[in-house]
Amino acid sequence: MDATAYGRLFDLSGRRALVTGGQRGLGRAIATALACHGAEVWICCEDARDCTAAAEALRVQGLNVHAIACDVADRAALSAMVERVMAAGPLDILVCNAGVAPHAGAITTASDADWQATMTINLQSVLWLAGMVLPGMAGTGGGSMMIMSSIAGLRGNRALGLYGLSKAANAQLARNLAVEWGPSNIRVNAISPGFIRTDLSRDLLDNPDFMQRRMAMTPLRRPGEPAEVAGVAVMLASAAGAFITGQNIVVDGGTLITDGN
């Protein structure tokens, strides 16, 4: 590989990406980073107004971003959304970021409705999307799929057990899909963020007792930033990550490896 090729390792020019849950938080950061590196990006979420506003804010910055509203828990709506996005051309990058955590507390106290919502949005929709997108991706030479997991899926959790269960399944789904689609030059990986500074974590960021405990468990002694997760997504989407598949990449400042001191 010559110097010019090394310079293009993270170049996504000419690539087309779909990011679910792309209107805010980590999804928006990933959509922004992909677009900054040259990709044409579609972001989707259930609320059309939020989705449109997010895309317009990114377009003002000169980024090639489009909005499309979709409830990922609705298979028919998901299929229609994918058909519309792919009508303009095949997808090269798929980021399954949409997720919910409707139940907090002991996992045995989760209602059937909590289970259904969590598993449908966090897991079933990802499998649906894989079935809708990956065949077309294979037909054009391959691509990259990323599934947002979490460190909650890698350890026990008193408060988010049901969410963690779905995220553990996400990581296993990435491994299975990587094996199935690897011969078609499709790479599938999971990303497991730790405690990241987003709007959803604002209450915890403002809680001194929580922050003292959590930062003591984190070797880098700080929360992560959305851009630090987005950077991993860019790597996995680009030539820089072309030999990485079936992995669950942890982005947590070392929380999982610490002894708590």
Residues assigned a catalytic role: 163
In the chain, the amino acid numbered 86 is: M
Helix, strand, coil proportions of the chain in percent (round to 5)? 50, 15, 35
DSSP strand pairing (143-148 vs 248-251): unpaired
Distance CA 24, CA 96 (A): 14
Helix axes 161-181, 112-119, angle to 10 degrees: 30
Q: What does the DSSP assignment read for 204-258?
A: HHT-HHHHHHHHHT-TT-S-B-HHHHHHHHHHHHSGGGTT--S-EEEESTTGGG-
Nearest to 247 by CA among 179, 196, 194: 179
State the Cα–Cα distance between residues 239 and 231, nearest whole angstrom: 13
